[in-house]
Structure 1
Amino acid sequence: MSDFVYPPVIALAKTLFRVLDLRITIDGAEHIPRQGGAVLASNHISYLDFIFAGLGANPAKRKVRFMAKQEIFADRIAGPLMRGMHHIPVDRDNGLASYKAALAALKGGEVVGVFPEATISQSFTVKEIKSGAARMAASTDTPLIPMALWGTQRLWTKGRKRELTKRHVPISILIGEPFQPTRRDKQDVVAAELHSRMSALLDRAQQEYPDKPAGPDDEWWVPAHLGGSAPTPESLAGSEDEID
């Protein structure tokens, strides 16, 4: 697959990261295969997650093809970039076409990026996840790789003002060991296993995170169970159904 757009986009992103002095840590990059298909499943806490999740595969010299909502591809600026990077549009009215496109990419040896929660988690915990990532991995006999991001919500998340020029923010990217679902596995069991692995990675990222809130007004980006003022999962039940 030709990539004329992806490399300069990566180079530009890295330049911006250096200018902003973002303190990016990648742990577990050895779990990304150097070749062959794989499904990369990450938590979702920011509108910028696809950038940092993709960065996590960079040490393995892999480019991730993300599944993203169709509306982004319709944007006059983002659309050409998304298509140029061979990301996969997700049309909520024609999900089967998106699924087939992802399967074709996996069979072609690509790494496909998925946010199995489907929406941004405003509680900054791992929400209930969809079964699509597991089904894709099982159908193509490719590994399923859990990932956790932390710190990205401080730059731009749902319900908060964008702070894209915020400097010195630590960003943690943790990649877990891959596992291999099969067609014989029950989807709910595999989804539970993926949820467990993503949650464990996220817990570690939160516990090891080098920054603390600057004061009460800055506690919004910390989950309630760690003493922050982010809403609890229970308080958000039923209100996060819209795809972000």
Structure 2
Amino acid sequence: MEWTSKDGFRVEAGLEPAPKHAEAKELVYSRLIIPAIKGVMKAQGLQITIQGAEHIPADGAGLIACNHTSYMDFIFAGIPARLRGKRLVRFMTKREIFDVKGVGTLMRAMKHIRVDRAAGAASLDEAVRRLKAGQLVGIFPEGTISRDFELGQLKSGAVRIAQAADAPLIPMAMWGAQQLWTKGHKKKMGRHHFPIWMKVGQPIDASGDVEAATQRLHSAMAELLAEVQHDYEQTYGAVKMERAKMEPAKTERTKTEQ
């Protein structure tokens, strides 16, 4: 495999450039927030590898389904889309984040999707509407961070959204982000030079029976995750983190739950 650097990320040398998307002109998300985040990542010395970005459409809708190992996943999972003409991903994000003073204003400005578990149908409908409008939507179908960092059971929301919007359902796997900030471990947000590896797969067949399609999504994501873990270990060595201890009588959920 031959590699090159693009926009500060390690990518496959054969990745074709995509024309700049109109989303690249958005003031808050594209021109203010993303440059600030890239500055932080550079200060942290993060080494980010991306494969398969070509599977994300350079224009039009796409529902990106990623595994969930870190509180930072919603930041990193949007990077492959940046390689496709600086596209933006609108993540499904729990209501409580929108309720935080100042943060909620930014979330609305970036057009992320507010998820209220007490009225989940509304967030699904909004995700469908966004996809039909030609946006990229991000979802973490496990619904919570995996404590052992392996792919857990998937909720059916991703398939149901893709079916209703008639949009491509694009699997993705990420490995290494758990070293920064995850459940049951201390944050390590300084300059640690952690490697992070992402791989995007071809869209899956999301048609037909929802349960069967969800299993196809799980299989695709599991295969991508196994490949990423293998390549990561061969390049950087194993991620040395213990499984977080379970908290008794408490179920903790994350801001990306759906």
Matches within 5 A, 1:199-210: 199-209=222-232, 210=235
Identity %: 44
Quote the residue 1:142 is aligned against: 167
1:3 aligns with 2:26: yes
Q: CA RMSD in A?
A: 2.1
How many equivalent pairs are there?
227
- Contact 1:155 1:166 survives alignment (8 Å): no
Deviation string for 1:16-54 (max 9, x for gaps)?
222222110010000000111110000000000000001
2-side partners of 1:167 and 1:9: how far apart? 22
Counterpart for residue 242 of structure 1: 252
How far apart, in 2, do the equivalents of 1:5 and 1:240 lie?
Answer: 36
Q: Which amino acid aligns with 2:44?
A: L
The Cα of 1:166 is off from its aligned counterpart by 3.7
Distance in 1 (CA, whole Å) between partners of 2:113 and 2:57 is 20
Distance 1:105 1:240, change over 3 A: farther
Q: Pick from 134, 141, 152: which aligns with 2:177?
A: 152
**Contact between 2:81 and 2:89, CA under 8 Å: does it hold in 1?**
yes
1:46 to 47, 70, 91: 70
Query: What letter is aligned with 2:70?
Result: S
Displacement of 1:3 after TM fit? 2.7
1:224 alignment counterpart: none
The question of 1:34 aligning with 2:58 is answered: yes
Match of 2:114 among 89, 95, 107: 89
TM-superposed CA distance for 1:180, in Å, is 3.6
Using the alignment, how far apart are the partners of 2:224 and 2:215 within structure 1? 14
What's the TM-score once normalised by structure 2's chain length? 0.83
Which amino acid letter does the alignment assign opposite residue 253 of structure 2? I
Q: CA deviation at 1:78?
A: 2.0
The change in CA–CA distance for 1:241 and 1:145 in structure 2 (over 3 A counts) is farther
User: Take 1:15 and 1:240, find their aligned partners in 2: how far apart are those partners?
Assistant: 36
Deviation for aligned residue 1:240: 8.0
Secondary structure, counterpart of 2:104 in structure 1: helix
Task: Note the 1:127-206 alignment, pairs <5 A.
Answer: 127-182=152-207, 185-206=208-229
CA drift of 1:151 comes to 0.7
Cα distance in 2 between the residues matched to 1:179 and 1:191? 10
| CA offsets 1:59-96 (integer angstroms, 9 cap, x no match) | 01210000011011111132111111000011010101
Superposition map of 1:47-86 within 5 A: 47-60=71-84, 61-86=86-111
* Contact kept? 2:204, 2:216, Cα under 8 Å: no
Does the aligned pair in 2 maintain the 1:65–1:113 contact within 8 Å? yes
Alpha-carbon deviation of 1:204? 1.1
